[in-house]
Amino acid sequence: MRDGKPLKVRVANFNLLNFHEAGVPFYQYKNGMSEEQVEAKIDWTAGQLKRLNAAIVGFQEVFSVAPLIEAAKRAGYDMAKTKIVAPCVDGKGPAVALLSTFPIVEHQSFSDFPPEAKLDLAAGSGGPPVFLPISKFNRPVLRVVIELDTGHRVAVYVCHLKSKRPVITDKSMQKDLKSNAIGSAISLTIRAAEAAALRCLLLDELAGDQEGLREVATSNVEKKPKVAYIAPGSKAESSLENSLAGLKVSESSTDSEDHEASARPEVQQENNIQLLLWEILTT
């Protein structure tokens, strides 16, 4: 309650589709995206953030924080009071991030699965256990504890599980139907393993097992998050401290060099940009 009334908090999830700075090579962009492409993405993203008007936003597919900061500014966020945390953003691949207008109490990231989350193919069969070599998330999961105006503390998770795209290492076989069938099965297995591991983390959260979470965390509880990646020569200031959070699992498609993506806003809108919105009502 705040002033005797329930507090409404708007929470959103936003897949940014290859959000990077200009001139940094990645995927099919051998010379990086042009200034015009990046400018169009920032402008379109700012418009969506303004429309969402959310106090907490989880993001997927963040390659660089600098354009995200700019988009938030253009959307009208007061950056003196708004925190953006992205400890796993390093410019080399897509990562998750969080924007919060509320204070951040702590945050952690998880790359490894909890020990109990190993996938046992022989479970219940009476035979010897068969473990797949899947023990890490493709993209680290982010956990952030946020303190609302009412004093309530909320743990928010941002995650980005393996896409459904077939895993095919030999590019010459990408159009082969059998390779696609097998590759899809591999992707499904990885995705299922990640979902199970994430559920284990959430069960620990619900049980209040903070020690268990700390043991699995890639980085222990940090009250001053690492500075997120900003490409060399960027004008953006990385004043990113104490912030993060996350939200729902999104079905994305960014994990191969031949990933088809466009910086044109209309293509983004038709592709895999996802805007999910919740309202939390505290009493």
Could you state, in order of their start, the residue ranges of all structural domains in the chain? 7-114+138-162+217-282
DSSP string across 196-227 = HHHHHHHHHHHTT-HHHHHHH-SEEEESSPPP
Phi/psi of residue 38, nearest 5 degrees: -65, -40
CA dist., res. 228 & res. 90, Å (int):
7
Cβ proximity of 97 and 158 under 8 Å: yes
The conformational region for residue 234 under phi > 0 = left, psi -120 to 50 = alpha, else beta, is beta
- The confidence score (pLDDT) of residue 238 equals 34
Q: Could you tell me the pTM of the whole model?
A: 0.75
- pLDDT per residue over 69-80, tens digit each? 999 999 999 999
3-state DSSP of 28-72: CECCCECHHHHHHHHHHHHHHHHHHCCCEEEEEEECCCHHHHHHH
| CA 181, 163, 91, 32 torsion-angle sign | positive
Q: Are 156 and 143 in contact (CB under 8 A)?
A: yes
Stretch (H or E) spanning 98: strand 95-100
Q: What is the pLDDT of residue 257?
A: 34
Query: Are the C-beta atoms of 10 and 279 separated by less than 8 Å?
Result: yes
pLDDT at residue 280, as a whole number: 53
H/E element, 194: helix 177-206
Contact 19, 45 (CB under 8 A): yes
What b/e readout covers 145-180, taking b as 16+ CB neighbours within 10 angstroms?
Answer: bbebeeeeebbbbbbbbbbebbbbeeeeeeeeeebb
Neighbours of 183 (CB within 10 A): 19
pLDDT at 158: 96
Segment 212-243, tens digit of pLDDT: 898 888 754 444 433 333 333 443 333 323 32
Torsion angle of C-alpha atoms 62, 64, 69, 72, degrees rounded to 10? -30
Q: Return the CATH architecture of domain 7-114+138-162+217-282.
A: 4-Layer Sandwich (3.60)
99 burial level (CB within 10 Å; 0-12, 13-18, 19+):
buried
**pLDDT averages per 10-residue partition of the chain, 283 residues:** 75 94 89 93 96 96 95 96 93 94 94 84 56 85 94 93 88 88 89 94 92 80 40 36 31 34 39 48 50
Which whole-number Å values give the CA distances from 83 to 12, 48, 108, in the listed order?
Answer: 15, 18, 15
Both tokens of residue 125? Answer: 């069969």
Contact 64, 230 (CB under 8 A): yes
